[in-house]
Amino acid sequence: MDSPVLPPIRFDNSYARDLADLTVAWPPEEPPAPGVVAFNRDLAEELGLDAQALSGAAEFFAGGYVPPGAKPVAQAYAGHQFGGFSPQLGDGRALLMGEVIDARGQRRDIHLKGSGRTPFSRGGDGKAALGPMLREYAMGEAMHALGIPTTRALAVATTGETILRDMKPLPGAVLTRVAASHIRVGTFQFFAARGETDRLRRLMDYTIARHYPQAAGAENPALALFDAVAAGQVRLIAEWMAVGFVHGVMNTDNMALSGETIDYGPCAFMEAYAPGTVFSSIDRQGRYAWGNQPLILGWNLARFAETLVPLVDPDGERAVEALNTRLQGIAPAYRAAWVAVMRRKLALDGEDPGDGDLADDLLAAMEGQGPDWTLTFRRLPTAIGGDSGRIAPLFTDAGALNDWLPRWRARLAPDAAARLAAANPAVIPRNHLVEEALDAATVGDMAPFEALIAALREPFAYRTDRYALPAPRGFGNYVTYCGT
Ligand code: AMP
Ligand code: MG
């Protein structure tokens, strides 16, 4: 199919070229009636692309047109899903089209999700429904605006096809995802599980060259890679926790070595504070609950470390020892990152050894009292004076909060009010607003989605309307679904 509106995109295909044994060349499926429903002008410009011309490229965004230079491949990877290992997962409904070098010289993947079956589809139909693809778009934009590393959507296009989910007919769609790369812990596990050390080494060299070039010159590049990945993940999870983000499927195939948040499936933001918050219908044990995410971080990094054993040292025992020492450092590193994040959220003056306890005690005061996570922090400026301002009404019983506030005031930075407003968002993707926008989009009305995206793009703006308020009481418990 021709695509007269598509401007030239300068694709490269370094992944398919250098790591051919991790890819299968595979074409996207031709969509019957493509149409662009969401286009990310911002991101197009960041990529150095002609946004105006690209915005109408429905055939490309729906998978029906492979432009010159693009070389679609399905990527192989393995992964631990809910703790159980699958030696082969892979892109079951996605294709890497190629890479572009963005306006800042960074290599970014252009990836289609929902573009049809691949050799890795197993029982799946290879398709995606419009709602979940728009959800991924919205979540990525929210995280980006919050300053959290993330993959982002360049566009969502409908295919004109109707797909079935839970017996329900839904509009089919394709998301164009832009990522620093799609290399996952599971990508390393793919070769490690097969004992293919030479290929594993090539993957390591590629990953280092693409993401952590400083590790190439280290005394032990494999250990340096581990350190760089671990540092990025520690920072990332601390940032997730700070905004109440619950990823929902922290499987090792959904942990990107670039340090970006990836694979927005059943994720959602916690509203009323409860460390056990879980949204995903299939996470019955709460493995990926908000408060468990730092533990899963350590678990996933241990799985990554296992893959590196043959690359760290030919003497397996020495390799394991070196990696174990590092794994023991993850929990303290996370704790330090969390305390740093809380110093920012609480606008504390400098650093004090008691800051971790101060942060812990706020959370203890919130526990069981049901305050909205986002609003508790957002309203802190109203409590700088002598009373609990507009925070106490968020609590069922504000007794413990009232004991805590004077301790906090004693640690406040001089410019605390401004720092608090800059560190704590007013707007997060509230579950009821996301659902409302997706429901409208599914029946052809994009206005609520566009209004939501506009609000998410300025999370720190002064705002007291519905975009900055919790769900009405009637909204009930929110449940999200995987495999969408
Ligand atoms: P996820 O939970 O999105 O990380 O996906 C886990 C695995 O299931 C990946 O290998 C996906 O490619 C695959 N998958 C998810 N949905 C589908 C689908 N509709 N058709 C084929 N494969 C799928
Ligand atoms: Mg995934």
Question: For 120-196, where are the alpha helices, taking DSSP H only?
Answer: 130-145, 185-194
146 found inside a domain? yes
Q: CA separation (Å) from 69 to 55, 65, 117, 243, 484? A: 19, 12, 22, 39, 30
30 found inside a domain? yes
Ligand in closest contact with the CA of 482 = 1
75 found inside a domain? yes
**Does the CB atom of residue 230 touch ligand 1 within 6 A?**
no
Give distance in angstroms: CA of 101 to centre of ligand 1: 27
Q: CA separation (Å) from 71 to 18, 31, 178, 199, 279? A: 13, 18, 16, 22, 37
Distance, in Å, from the CA atom of 298 to the CA atom of 331, rounded to the nearest integer, reads 7
Phi and psi torsions of 164, nearest 5°? -105, 130
441 found inside a domain? no
**Does the CB atom of residue 79 touch ligand 1 within 6 A?**
no
Which of 357, 390, 412 is the last residue before a domain boundary? 412
94 found inside a domain? yes
The number of domains in the chain is 2
**Does the CB atom of residue 89 touch ligand 1 within 6 A?**
yes
If one residue of 111, 113, 121, 287 were mutated to test the ligand 1 pocket, choosing by the most ligand atoms within 8 A of its CB, it would be 121
In one-letter notation, the amino acid at residue 37 is: V
What letter does residue 382 receive in the DSSP assignment?
A: G
276 found inside a domain? no
Which of 148, 179, 210 is the last residue before a domain boundary? 179
Which of 368, 387, 412 is the last residue before a domain boundary? 412
Distance, in Å, from the CA atom of 237 to the CA atom of 260, rounded to the nearest integer, reads 10
53 found inside a domain? yes
Q: Which residues are catalytic?
A: 253
What global pTM score does this model have? 0.97
Domain that holds residue 91: 14-179
Question: pLDDT tens digits for the chain (484 residues)?
Answer: 445 568 889 999 999 999 999 999 999 999 999 999 999 999 999 999 999 999 999 999 999 999 999 999 999 999 999 999 999 999 999 999 999 999 999 999 999 999 999 999 999 999 999 999 999 999 999 999 999 999 999 999 999 999 999 999 999 999 999 999 999 999 999 999 999 999 999 999 999 999 999 999 999 999 999 999 999 999 999 999 999 999 999 999 999 999 999 999 999 999 999 999 999 999 999 999 999 999 999 999 999 999 999 999 999 999 999 999 999 999 999 999 999 999 999 999 999 999 999 999 999 999 999 999 999 999 999 999 989 999 999 999 999 999 999 999 999 999 999 999 999 999 999 999 999 999 999 999 999 999 999 999 999 999 999 999 999 887 888 898 865 5
247 found inside a domain? no
